[in-house]
Amino acid sequence: VIRSKQDRRPLRIAYGRIFHEANSYSPLKTERSNFEDFHFYRGEDVASLVTPSVYELGKVLRKAELTGFHSAAKAAGNIECVPLMSALAVPSGPLSQECFAWMRDELRGALERVGEVDAVYMALHGSMRVSGLDQAPEAVILADLRDALGSVPIAASFDLHANLTPAIVDHLDLLEAYRTNPHRDLYRTGRRAGRQLIAMARGEVQPTRAWRKLPMLLGGGTTIDFLHPMRGIFMHIKRLLMRRDVLSAHVCMVHPFTDAPDLGWAVHVCTDDNQALADSLADELADRVWKVRKVDLPDMKTPAEAIEEVRRSRVSRALGQVSVVDTCDIVGAGSTGGSTHLLDALVREAGDLTVYVPMHDPRLVDELWERSPGDRVESTVRGTPGLPDQPEVPVAGRIGVRTMTDFGRTVVLEHENLRIAVTEKPPGTLHPRFWADLGLSPWHADAIVQKFFFHYRLFYAPTSRRSIPVMSKGPSSLDNVRKRHFDEPMWPQSPISEWRSFDHKRRVATP
């Protein structure tokens, strides 16, 4: 007897988020307070994040995965959404063991509180790390869920930069991930995961999956989804999704700046009850991805070359300022914002240019905080404590504005025409408002140093049409990745020509 939807009791589906992207080359640890100060909610407070009028993520994003999941549930009808927890901290070093133990306790506590459920959805990142833990923390989280819930369907969504491992994939029934870079589909990803999970819990589909793990760390050029060569791959995925029997298809291209032992790009395909099709589509997608491994990033400048280019960019400077992107110190990729290489070059060679530079140096903040604006100082910028291989940069000038910002105590140091904003916490400065609040108009700068790959462009579009990527030395330096040793052959370390003979072994979970 088939009962109508209304006759059935509502499906209880629990949902939550544990989200962090780690950079293993950062000397900073991510602690409980980094979550609590940024984004941490329990139970009903999570439910309040998914209402349309509320910003789900900080001041930045109104609708992300959990709002997407919630809207899928609402559209499906007869679903009771049961909030667990939501935790997110800005990318930084690995979690401390204490922090991760606390996070697991929180999740287990939340599962106990909600009692029996019919399914679970979790929004995860996939490039989390915990110091001293070889395994993917997400695999541990999913194992905790399995322990608590038995065989109920579990869906998780991931960042496009996730590192899929056997333990992650095997604990799941459904796997979703972003398909845009820069990421613009958080909401859609949560909604897709929600729709599929509901269909599975109702017995309407039978997710049947295949994945492949490639011995590949870098490739895909800029890896931007709408530019060559990744555009072709995402177009191919779009075509696959037009088939009724294909539920999802993804490429996960890892955050390369972690020490995960089993790092590597992966593809994942899910069909409706057709294993052979899932396998053949996964092979085909993997072949396409493997082909773009040799497409490298565009050339980057040395600090000296970049300074010369700023000097020559008269039109860009007249209309606003040049953005100088310190690609080795990207706070958005978990770096600290306290690499001193670029600053060293600016102090020595660019005194004639008005350049705004954010700089993480908590020791210098301590030293300068008691001084008054206008005081003359001679001091040394040393950047993030514990960051290896950084020059000490002597500076002499005046104290400018001293104030609290989103990045803790902040002091402006004026050295010739340079304006150095010395911050207590990593300066994730995306918005020109940061400088305006320090009394520094972005219009007056010849150049502003950016510590994001891309997102700053949204906010600087009116003043900056020119970006110069610079190579220095820091936690988001690709040199770290290229020099890393692996026991197994790995692209680009080894000139491997095919992926198949490495794939199978890497998909088998070690007990």
Output the DSSP codes for 174-234: EEEE---SS---HHHHHHHHHHHHHHHHTTS--EEEEEEE-SBSS-STT--TTSTTHHHHH
Strand order in the sheet with 322-326: 376-381, 393-405, 408-415, 418-423, 355-360, 447-450, 322-326, 466-470
Find the part of the chain contacting Zn ion (CB under 5 A) among 92-100, 159-167, 375-383, 423-431.
159-167
Find the part of the chain contacting Zn ion (CB under 5 A) among 51-59, 151-159, 209-217, 326-334.
151-159
Alpha carbons 277 and 245: distance in angstroms, whole number: 9
Find the part of the chain contacting Zn ion (CB under 5 A) among 6-14, 153-161, 261-269, 365-373.
153-161
19 vs 41 by CB, closer to Zn ion: 19
| The token pair that represents 61 in the structure block | 């994003």
Q: Of all residues in this chain, which one has the CB nearest to Zn ion in the complex? A: 161
In this structure, which amino acid lies at residue 326?
A: D
- Residue 250: CB minimum distance to Zn ion, A: 13
- Residue 125: CB minimum distance to Zn ion, A: 8
159 binds Zn ion (CB under 5 A): yes
161 vs 191 by CB, closer to Zn ion: 161
15 vs 178 by CB, closer to Zn ion: 178
Alpha carbons 184 and 475: distance in angstroms, whole number: 25
12 binds Zn ion (CB under 5 A): no
Contacts by 178-183 with C-beta closer than 8 Å and gap 24+?
179/225, 179/234, 179/237, 179/250, 180/225, 181/223, 181/224, 181/225, 181/230, 182/224, 182/453, 182/454, 182/455, 183/159
102 vs 454 by CB, closer to Zn ion: 454
In this structure, which amino acid lies at residue 244?
A: R
- Residue 127: CB minimum distance to Zn ion, A: 8
Output the DSSP codes for 45-102: HHHGGGSTTS-SBTTTBSS-HHHHHHHHHHHH-SEEEEEEEEEE--SBSPBPHHHHHH
Please count the residues of this chain forming the interface with Zn ion, following the rule CB under 5 A: 2
Q: Phi first, then psi: give them for residue 244, nearest 5 degrees.
A: -65, -30
- Residue 10: CB minimum distance to Zn ion, A: 34
255 vs 341 by CB, closer to Zn ion: 255
- Residue 161: CB minimum distance to Zn ion, A: 4
- Residue 181: CB minimum distance to Zn ion, A: 7
| The token pair that represents 302 in the structure block | 């040395």
Find the part of the chain contacting Zn ion (CB under 5 A) among 156-164, 298-306, 351-359, 419-427.
156-164
In this structure, which amino acid lies at residue 293?
A: R
- Cα–Cα distances in angstroms (integers) from residue 286 to residues 180, 216, 294, in the given order: 18, 11, 14
- Residue 139: CB minimum distance to Zn ion, A: 19
- Cα torsion angle, 39, 45, 50, 55, sign: negative
Contacts by 237-242 with C-beta closer than 8 Å and gap 24+?
237/179, 237/285, 240/269, 240/281, 240/285
182 vs 492 by CB, closer to Zn ion: 182
257 vs 435 by CB, closer to Zn ion: 257
- Residue 42: CB minimum distance to Zn ion, A: 26
187 vs 356 by CB, closer to Zn ion: 187
125 vs 195 by CB, closer to Zn ion: 125
20 binds Zn ion (CB under 5 A): no
- Residue 295: CB minimum distance to Zn ion, A: 19
20 vs 171 by CB, closer to Zn ion: 20
Strand order in the sheet with 174-177: 39-42, 79-88, 11-19, 119-124, 154-158, 174-177
Find the part of the chain contacting Zn ion (CB under 5 A) among 73-81, 160-168, 307-315, 411-419.
160-168
161 vs 192 by CB, closer to Zn ion: 161
Alpha carbons 392 and 381: distance in angstroms, whole number: 6
Strand order in the sheet with 207-213: 207-213, 266-272, 246-252
Structure letter (DSSP) for residue 419: E
- Residue 222: CB minimum distance to Zn ion, A: 14
Question: Pick from 348, 368, 481, 476: which is nearest to 418 by CA?
Answer: 348
- Residue 251: CB minimum distance to Zn ion, A: 12
- Residue 168: CB minimum distance to Zn ion, A: 16
Q: Phi first, then psi: give them for residue 284, nearest 5 degrees.
A: -65, -40
40 vs 453 by CB, closer to Zn ion: 453
In terms of DSSP bridges, do strands 174-177 and 154-158 run parallel, antiparallel, or are they unpaired? Answer: parallel
Find the part of the chain contacting Zn ion (CB under 5 A) among 132-140, 152-160, 296-304, 446-454.
152-160
184 vs 500 by CB, closer to Zn ion: 184
Give the x/- contact pattern for Zn ion in 161-200, rule: CB under 5 A: x---------------------------------------
- Residue 247: CB minimum distance to Zn ion, A: 23
Find the part of the chain contacting Zn ion (CB under 5 A) among 155-163, 210-218, 242-250, 294-302.
155-163
Contact 221, 228 (CB under 8 A): yes
Residues interacting with Zn ion, by CB under 5 A? 159, 161
